Amino acid sequence: HDRIISAARELFEKKGFATATTKEIADLAKVSEITLFRHFENKRNLFEQTIKDSMRQYKISEYIKNSATYELEHDLTTIAYHMMETYKQNSPLRAIIMLDKIRGSVPEMNVKHDEHCLEKSLLEYFSTMKKTGKISVDPNMAIKFFITNITGYFMREVFSKNNYIDDKDKYFEWMLKKVISVLKP
C-alpha cells in the first residue's frame, strides 16, 4: 500500500492525474497492476488516497487552540509562516490539482476539507479578536483578506517566471506588516 502511494505521488507530481497510468504506477511500486487494483478500486480512488496520505495539513488549528497569544502581529505572523510552510510542502500536489482542475479531471474534496478547517479556525480567532477590539473589521472579511494575500504571495512565487524581488523574505515580512496594519483598529 505504502509503495503504491509513494509511486503514485511521484508520478502524479511529474505527469499529473490525467497522464500518469496505473501501469506506470504499478511498475514504479514494483507490484502488478492487479495488486494495485486490489488496494485501490480505480485510478481516481488511488489519486484521492494519495492526496489524503501525502498532503501536509495546516498546523494553524492546533496553533490557535493551544498557542495563540491573541496579540495580532505575533499570531498572524506565526500563522502566515505556518501557511507558507504548508504551501511549500504541498506545492507539487497543489500544482497537479490546479492543472487537472483546469482539465476538469480531478476531485478536490480532501484539499477543500483542510482549507475549510483553516477558515473555521481563523474565523474563531478573528471573531475573538473583534470582540476584544483588537481588530476593527468583520471577521469574515479579515479571513478573506488575510488568506488572499498570503496565498497570492505564494502563488506568485510558484508561478512567476521572473522572480524580480531580490529579497523575498524581506518583501514577505513587509507585505505581512501591511496586511496586519489594515486589520488593526
Tens digit of pLDDT per residue, the chain (185 long)?
Answer: 999 999 999 998 888 888 899 999 999 999 999 999 999 999 989 988 888 777 777 788 889 999 999 999 999 999 999 998 888 888 777 777 776 666 665 555 455 656 778 899 999 999 999 999 999 999 999 999 999 999 888 877 776 666 555 677 788 999 999 999 999 99
SS3 call for 119: helix
The span from the CA of 151 to the CA of 120, in Å, is 17
| 135 and 72 Cβ atoms separated by less than 8 Å | yes
Read off the C-alpha cell for 129: 479578536
| 168 and 157 Cβ atoms separated by less than 8 Å | yes
Radius of gyration of the chain (CA): 19
Q: How much is the pTM?
A: 0.75
The span from the CA of 80 to the CA of 180, in Å, is 11
Within 8 A by CB and 6+ apart from 34, the residues are none
